[in-house]
């Protein structure tokens, strides 16, 4: 029972949703079977205890619901399915009621069909006020505005007045905006995914969209302009200028997007910068830092108030690469509390170790590494690589060679690592060992090897070591 769809769904309900769903089941309009409510009355108090397995065993539930009957699994399964279906219906209605002006628009449409003019006008005014008052000017705004103007046109036509109204033109205009905003959004997401996944989308209408944008100016619609510049950055060679325009428009008009869409735009921007850096355009590192820092500061990159440990780690690495050591240290201390408890300690101490390493405070770095408990394999790998770099920098040859050997064995034994991750660290260890053995005149060969090696951890640091050999 613990693995049932009903329990899984109820576990996701907030306290207020659990209470509201009881009221929903108490309504004979939605639920005509008292037994459905009885089952929920048994389950609801168990939610705050995480639905203990012994309390929700099928036999236990059946006995409580049908005390004088022999256990019938089929009957119980049907009952559970019924309550699950009602829970789905409740969620669907909740979503509908919270969808901005849509409830007013549907009620207005119903009044229009019933020829209730005063009631229709009242709901239409409510819808228009809500659309006027909200700051969002996104796809859903254009879609709901289209419905409103279409209803107004139907209302005007029903009065059979021998003159024209502007509502049909307004409906057509808003639909154009809706189509363009939605199509541009889909296109940008598809173009982004093609850069990271082995997939090729069919996007045949991009030239036509460009033509539509040329024929009519949409400068007053930031949601269209933002996606347009992002699409240009994703498709044209002059991507730097287009990406800057995208960033500027997004920063200026962020309030026109919902939090969900703003997060999506930041992640698209981050992916764009990551791709550029991967192909050697290091100028985008500063842009990437901008989107990471602003996205975290505004809460857009937090999920349920928590920061992903990978985003935390990426920001630290990026900031250190940009030599923003004091900023990174402040970030590490400020945002460690936003990490999940399971990874917080390791992320915090490893990040401090990395900062101290970049400051060449190797003793402090070693002290922080000793506090890492390796709750995650990736922190274990990074800690070993950092330790190896410290031994190399401090010329502790015995410790360096010993760790080289043990690190290789450790990597070979890790079955859970992907081939790419394993290769990145193995190649790092191999090349660092070669650097430690080279003579001054043999640097070019290893530099070529670094350039030719696709999977390689700490590439920039390895190149720095080559440069040091050239100057000695």
Helix (H, G, I), strand (E, B) or coil at 322: coil
Give the C-alpha separation, 410 to 406, whole Å: 6
Q: What are 178's two structure tokens?
A: 């809706």
User: CA angle, 410 as apex, 432 and 454 as ends, to 5°?
Assistant: 45
Q: Please, what sign has the CA dihedral across residues 335, 340, 341, 346?
A: negative
Question: Within 10 Å of residue 54's Cβ, how many Cβ atoms?
Answer: 6
- Cα(50)–Cα(316) distance, rounded to whole angstroms? 36
Question: What residues have CB less than 8 Å from 59, skipping those under 6 apart?
Answer: 71
DSSP structure string for 251-310: HHTGGGS-HHHHHHHHHHHHHHHHHHHHTT-TTHHHHHHHHHHHHHHTTTTEETTEE-HH
- Residues 382 and 458: their CA atoms lie apart, in Å, by 10
Contacts of 54 (CB under 8 A, 6+ apart): 60
Burial 122-160 (b: 16+ CB within 10 A, else e): ebbebbbebbeebeebbbbbbbbbbbbbbbbbbbbeeee
Give the per-residue pLDDT at 172.
95
Q: How far is CA 295 from the centre of its chain?
A: 11
Beta bridge partners of 302: 307
pLDDT at 2: 67
Longest Cα–Cα distance in the chain: 97
Q: Angle at which helices 443-452 and 459-471 pack, to 10 degrees?
A: 170
Report the DSSP beta bridge partners of residue 303.
Answer: 306
| Unique residue bearing structure tokens 């909200």 | 134
Label residue 467 exposed, middle or buried (CB < 10 Å: 0-12, 13-18, 19+).
exposed
CB 121 within 8 A of CB 101: no
All structural domains of the chain with their residue ranges: 5-97, 135-295, 376-472
Counting as low any pLDDT under 50, the low residues of the chain are none
Question: What is the reported pLDDT for 70?
Answer: 93
Mention every residue, 6+ apart, whose C-beta is less than 8 A from residue 24: 30, 31, 86, 90, 93
Q: What is the pLDDT at residue 309? A: 85
Model pTM score: 0.83
């Amino acid at each position: 029972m613990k693995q049932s769809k009903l329990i899984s769904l109820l576990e996701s309900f907030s306290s207020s949703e659990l209470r509201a769903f009881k009221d929903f089941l108490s309504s004979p309009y939605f639920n005509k079977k008292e037994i459905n409510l009885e089952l929920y009355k048994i389950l609801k108090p168990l939610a705050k205890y995480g639905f203990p397995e012994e309390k929700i065993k099928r036999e236990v539930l059946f006995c409580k619901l049908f005390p004088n009957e022999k256990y019938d699994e089929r009957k119980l399964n049907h009952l559970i399915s019924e309550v699950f279906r009602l829970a789905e219906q409740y969620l669907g209605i909740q979503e509908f009621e919270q969808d901005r002006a849509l409830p007013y628009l549907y009620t207005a449409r119903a009044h229009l069909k019933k020829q209730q003019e005063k009631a229709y006008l009242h709901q239409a005014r409510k819808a228009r006020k809500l659309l006027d008052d909200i700051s969002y000017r996104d796809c859903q705004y254009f879609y709901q505005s289209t419905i409103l103007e279409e209803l107004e046109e139907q209302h005007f036509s029903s009065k059979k007045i021998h003159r024209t109204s502007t509502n049909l033109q307004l409906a057509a205009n808003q639909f154009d905006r809706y189509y363009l905003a939605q199509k541009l959004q889909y296109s940008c997401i598809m173009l982004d995914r093609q850069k990271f996944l082995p997939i090729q989308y069919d996007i045949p209408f991009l030239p036509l969209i460009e033509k539509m944008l040329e024929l009519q100016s949409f400068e007053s619609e930031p949601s269209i302009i933002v996606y347009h510049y992002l699409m240009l950055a994703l498709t044209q060679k002059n991507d730097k200028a287009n990406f800057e325009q995208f960033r500027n428009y997004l920063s200026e008009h962020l309030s026109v997007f919902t939090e969900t869409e703003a997060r999506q735009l930041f992640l698209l921007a981050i992916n764009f910068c990551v791709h550029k850096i991967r192909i050697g355009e290091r100028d985008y590192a500063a842009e990437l830092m901008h989107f990471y820092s602003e996205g975290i500061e505004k809460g857009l990159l937090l999920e349920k108030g928590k920061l992903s440990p990978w985003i935390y780690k990426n920001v630290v690495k990026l900031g250190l690469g940009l030599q923003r050591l004091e900023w990174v240290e402040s970030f590490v201390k400020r945002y460690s509390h936003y990490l999940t408890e399971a990874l917080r300690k390791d992320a915090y101490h490893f990040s401090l170790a990395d900062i101290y390493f970049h400051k060449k405070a190797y003793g402090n770095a070693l002290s922080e590494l000793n506090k890492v408990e390796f709750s995650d394999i990736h922190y274990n790998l990074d800690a070993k690589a950092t330790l190896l770099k410290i031994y190399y920098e401090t010329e502790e040859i015995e410790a360096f060679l010993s760790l080289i050997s043990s690190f290789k064995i450790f990597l070979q034994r890790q079955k859970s690592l992907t081939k790419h991750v394993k290769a990145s660290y193995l190649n790092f260890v191999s090349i660092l060992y070669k650097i430690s053995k080279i003579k001054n005149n043999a640097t070019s060969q290893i530099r070529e090897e670094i350039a030719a090696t696709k999977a390689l951890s700490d590439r920039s640091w390895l190149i720095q070591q080559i440069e040091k050999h050239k100057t000695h």
